[in-house]
Amino acid sequence: MFSSFMVNSWIAASLVAVVAGCIGFFVVVRGATFAAHALPLSAFPGAAAAALLGVNQLAGLAVFAMLGVAGISQLAQRERHEVATALSLVALLGLGTLFLSLTSEYAQGVYALLFGDVLGISGAELPPLAISAAVCIAALLVLFRPLLLTSVSPDLAASGGINASLMEVAFLGILALATAIALPLVGALLVFSLMVGPASAARSLTRKPPVAMALSVVIALLTVWVAVALSYLTNWPVGFFVGSFGTICYVGGRAAARTA
């Protein structure tokens, strides 16, 4: 479990958990769980495009996640936010279907990106993963106050000169990058559970934003560490364990909050 070839998996899982725990706090506070579910699926075709063009997979994921952000942001000006999210998702999944039909060497990669592949992280993928994670966390720390104000009190944010639309685009951009980071390890179908489960549990246990974010990161780290260990022992997809423990964390957090 701690052999040399698993070191990359433990490092990658920890980076993903820290980013997911941080961005997950804002996903829960802003009620953006649909976007957290849609963006991973929107980014998924980027991996197919990257394989077709022979470029870095993370780059393809990031580009298509950003296309999802652009689509949501532009369509939201004319439609309701959830409608814009759904329309962007449908359009990008259509492109993904096309890209997958043009290559015959992607079946195993498709499965890994849908359900996660804890053993598929190579040493070459760690530096861009670490840089992307650092960018996400730095952006969240810089924008912590305006993001929090526009989440809990839009009127107060507006009176302070904070542009809510700009903050929404910034949040979606950070969420898209976090999605691209987490998707290869956790899988497109369950990446949002790593963002929502630990953060929801942390939110149930405390109302102090900095404490809730820190607790979300701790719970996310414990979740992925247990998931990686069980995935190694059982050879089951890591995404299954992340989804299961995400649900357990949420239920446990709600139960603890009611008994407190």
**pLDDT tens digit sequence for 113-127:** 667 776 667 777 788
| Predicted local confidence at residue 239, as pLDDT | 77
| Predicted local confidence at residue 89, as pLDDT | 67
Average pLDDT, the chain: 80
CA distances from 240 to 38, 44, 146, 169, 191 (A): 18, 18, 35, 31, 10
* Residue range 60-106, pLDDT digits in tens: 777 777 777 776 666 655 556 666 666 666 677 777 777 767 765 55
* Residue range 226-247, pLDDT digits in tens: 988 888 888 887 878 888 888 8
Q: Which conformational region is residue 54 in: left (phi greater than 0), alpha (psi within -120 to 50 degrees), or beta?
A: left
* Residue range 26-43, pLDDT digits in tens: 988 888 777 777 777 777
Domains of the chain, CATH where assigned: 4-259 (1.10.3470.10)
* Residue range 41-50, pLDDT digits in tens: 777 777 777 7
Annotate 21-70 with DSSP letters as a single string: HHHHHHHHHTT-HHHHHHHHHHHHHHHHHHHHHT--HHHHHHHHHHHHHH
- Any idea of the CA torsion for 223, 179, 8, 242, to the nearest 10 degrees? 20
- pTM value? 0.81
For the cut 90, the answer to whether the pLDDT of residue 220 exceeds it is yes
Where is mean pLDDT largest: 56-65, 172-181, 207-216?
207-216
